[in-house]
């Protein structure tokens, strides 16, 4: 179906509210992600400060995607490359099914009552669009078995 103009506006407005608390939001997201699927922890770097850095990269990637929603043709190549890198990190298609709900949960925590059903639908549609581009790219790449080892860093668009 694709993201409508109204959904783009909802996503971009909500991100303006989330961005100031992006460090907290990233922490909430990764805590939730690893709670729901502890196996995914192996995909991310270990060590002091590593997840804070990963959180910053995630928030930068989301900011690029949100700001680029008006010109998807400009961000699609970067999202495609991200999908290819995710294969190298050991990300599997099914992992996206965990990330989406964990991200929506994070937005609900950060936005509270402002995360209306329409805002949730807009973010779900946006996530689906980005995840589909990423998975399509990954589908064209040679697949790795299992999950990657600690020290890899999925989640950046640059």
- Tell me: pLDDT of 109 over 90: yes
Parse the chain into domains and list their residue ranges.
Answer: 5-139
Residue closest to 77 by CA, chosen among 58, 63, 64, 89: 64
Beta-carbon contacts of 73 under 8 Å, excluding residues fewer than 6 positions away, are: none
Q: What is the number of other CB atoms lying within 10 angstroms of the CB of residue 141?
A: 13
For the stretch 62-103, pLDDT in tens is: 999 999 988 888 888 888 888 888 888 888 888 999 999 999
CATH number of the structural domain 5-139: 1.10.490.10
pLDDT tens digits, one per residue of 143-154? 555 554 444 445
Query: With contact defined as beta carbons under 8 Å apart, do 14 and 80 qualify?
Result: no
Q: Give the model confidence (pLDDT) of 9-22 as tens digits.
A: 999 999 999 999 99
Helix ranges (DSSP H) in 69-157: 72-89, 96-111, 117-139
pTM of the model: 0.83
């Amino acid at each position: 179906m694709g993201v409508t103009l109204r959904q783009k506006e909802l996503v971009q407005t909500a991100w303006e509210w989330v961005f100031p608390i992006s460090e907290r939001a990233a922490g909430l997201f990764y805590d939730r992600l690893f709670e729901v699927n502890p196996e995914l922890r192996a995909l991310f770097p270990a060590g002091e400060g590593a997840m804070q850095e990963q959180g910053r990269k995630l928030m930068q990637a989301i900011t690029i995607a949100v700001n680029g929603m008006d010109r998807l043709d400009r961000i699609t190549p970067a999202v495609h490359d991200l999908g290819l890198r995710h294969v190298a990190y050991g990300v599997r298609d099914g992992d996206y099914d965990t990330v989406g709900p964990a991200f929506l949960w994070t937005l609900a925590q950060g936005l509270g009552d402002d995360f209306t059903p329409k805002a949730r639908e807009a973010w779900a549609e946006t996530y689906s669009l980005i995840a589909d581009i990423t998975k399509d790219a990954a589908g064209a790449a040679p697949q790795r078995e299992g999950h990657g080892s600690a020290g890899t860093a999925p989640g950046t668009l640059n």
